[in-house]
Amino acid sequence: MGKLFGTDGVRGVANQYPITGEVALKTGQAVGIFTRESGYHSVVIGKDTRLSGDMLEAALCAGVASTGINVLQAGIIPTPGVAFLCAHLETVGAGIVISASHNPYEDNGIKIFRRGGEKLSDEQEENIENFILSTDNKLILNSVVGTITPLENSLKKYADFLLNKDAVKAIKRNSKKKLRLVIDCSNGAASKIAPMVFNNALFETQFIHHIPDGKNINDHCGSQHTEDLAVRVLKEQADIGLAFDGDADRLIVIDEKGNQITGDRILAICAQHAKQKNRLENPVVVSTIMSNIGLTQTLDSLGITHIKADVGDRKVLEQMKASKASIGGEDSGHMIFLNEHSTGDGMLSALMLLKVMSETQESLSSLSSVMNVFPQVLMNVNVDASRPDFMKNKVIADTIKNIEEKLGSNGRVLIRYSGTQPLLRVMVEGPEQKMVEAYCEQICLSIKENL
């Protein structure tokens, strides 16, 4: 495995292998066969706002329809919206999302959901990958072909799903005055649906970066670039700023003082509140190996078990199911509230956080003080596709070991290859910012010179 699928589907530069029309066609056929063998009759396809989305959608639709399976086109919709449709439309056996998440517009990707709105298992992913890569597929085509039909009101169906959540009812019930929001839609899939969910009946909301043109998705905006949002929150004296990524499955927030609050602290806030309200049936929270040491310390102090999964929301979900956890996520902004949805959902995460604010009547800066964040620096080193074992290089290994010894129990080093890009990610965590930056730069320099 791993020739096509990374930690979150297939991703790359649009119109270059593997994000080509040919691969998309075969992917559509593979998903069509998977759906047919599962006993269902339709596949739902959604996309974000990238220019290349239409090209890939056309190929995917043709591939699915050639297997006799019908296609329902959901149009521009967040990734968790497609997961929702997979779980709630009777005939749908799989969902495909055309998106490269937080990547620049030149990139694109293909994510696949199975019935119920969950990502594919490793085995299912491998079977689909093998079909796509095989040169002797024995695909028997006949005169029966599927239809390709736009799905009416796809955004309204998804918006209604979110607006019917208990979190929204709690916000209505507890807010003495409307919370003031500024929302950065990243010129992506949230641009049209965010005003439907965070509407004027519930909040006082202003939107920025919500006019996509096919090329401006994630362009100095959204969850990866919150500078504009922080300025606007302070200017408007808003209670909170919400930043989504291109496909709106991530959430990063800005507090009323202009400070950035990432996934770990959102998890800590929501877990603490759930525990205090006796809503955390099983006192377990799942995050990833990238999570800040401060999250572990906070959860320990609250009597909540902290389990760390491999990177990727799919791995987090696997651990959540195994440990019967209801809250999990990544510091990057993927949060999963398993009692509410089958996958990470940026807008749902925002509603869950807003519920805590409305029920406690506390500011976000006050709520976020539950967690002490250790300085953490993440740097990327460009690498080739061969992904050599860097720990076999003595100079690199000795550099890492030396820094780990200096940090001791007050920090850590974590180095891993990106699952979506040709990068080696170097993360160093410790008690002081300048120290952490220097250590991280030292490791990166050693890798560049010796790998």
DSSP state string for 13-54: ETTSTTSSHHHHHHHHHHHHHHHHHTT--EEEEEE-S-TTHH
| pTM score of the predicted model | 0.91
CATH topology of domain 159-259: Alpha-D-Glucose-1,6-Bisphosphate; Chain A, domain 3 (3.40.120)
Report the chain's terminal Cα–Cα distance, integer Å. Answer: 24
Amino acid identity at 299: L
Phi, then psi, of 130 in degrees rounded to 5: -60, -40
Which regions of the chain carry the CATH code 3.40.120.10? 5-152, 159-259, 261-346+358-368
261-346+358-368 is classed CATH 3.30.70.940: no
Number of DSSP helices (H) and strands (E) in the chain, helices first: 15, 20
Predicted local confidence at residue 91, as pLDDT: 96
Predicted local confidence at residue 420, as pLDDT: 67
Query: Known catalytic residue: 342?
Result: no
CATH of domain 376-450: 3.30.310.50
Tokens of 304: 């909540």
Tokens of 253: 């927030």
Residues 203 and 178: beta-carbon distance below 8 Å: yes
Q: DSSP H helical segments within 146-260, as ranges? A: 154-163, 166-174, 190-197, 227-236
Residue 430, C-beta contacts closer than 8 angstroms, at least 6 positions apart: 374, 375, 407, 410, 411, 412, 436, 439
Angstrom distance (rounded) from CA 346 to CA 250: 5
Q: Is 371 exposed, middle or buried (0-12, 13-18, 19+ CB in 10 A)?
A: buried
Taking residue 431's Cβ as centre, other Cβ atoms within 10 Å add up to 12
Predicted local confidence at residue 1, as pLDDT: 41
Q: Is 153 exposed, middle or buried (0-12, 13-18, 19+ CB in 10 A)?
A: exposed
Predicted local confidence at residue 185, as pLDDT: 98
Q: Exactly one of 101, 154, 223, 342 is catalytic; name it.
A: 101
Which regions of the chain carry the CATH code 3.30.310.50? 376-450
Residue found by looking up tokens 């040709």 in the block: 422
Cis status of the peptide bond prior to 18, with omega within 30 of 0: yes
Q: Along the 451 residues of the chain, how does pLDDT read in single tens digits?
A: 448 988 789 999 999 999 999 999 999 999 999 999 999 999 999 999 999 999 999 999 999 999 999 999 999 999 999 999 999 999 999 999 999 999 999 999 999 999 999 999 889 999 999 999 987 766 767 778 999 999 999 999 999 999 999 999 999 999 789 999 999 999 999 999 999 999 999 999 999 999 999 999 999 999 999 999 999 999 999 999 999 999 999 999 999 999 999 999 999 999 999 999 999 989 999 999 989 999 999 999 999 999 999 988 889 999 999 999 999 999 999 999 999 999 999 999 999 999 999 999 999 999 999 999 999 999 999 987 778 889 999 999 999 999 999 999 888 999 988 876 788 999 999 999 999 999 999 999 999 999 8
Tell me which DSSP letter residue 215 carries.
S
Residues 106 and 19: beta-carbon distance below 8 Å: no
Q: At what angle do helices 122-133 and 21-37 cross, to 10 degrees?
A: 130
b/e string for 173-185 if b means 16 or more Cβ within 10 A? Answer: eebeeebbbbbbb
Predicted local confidence at residue 422, as pLDDT: 81
Q: Which CATH number fits domain 5-152: 3.40.50.10320, 3.40.120.10, 3.60.9.10, 1.10.3720.10?
A: 3.40.120.10
Phi, then psi, of 10 in degrees rounded to 5: -100, 135
Predicted local confidence at residue 97, as pLDDT: 98
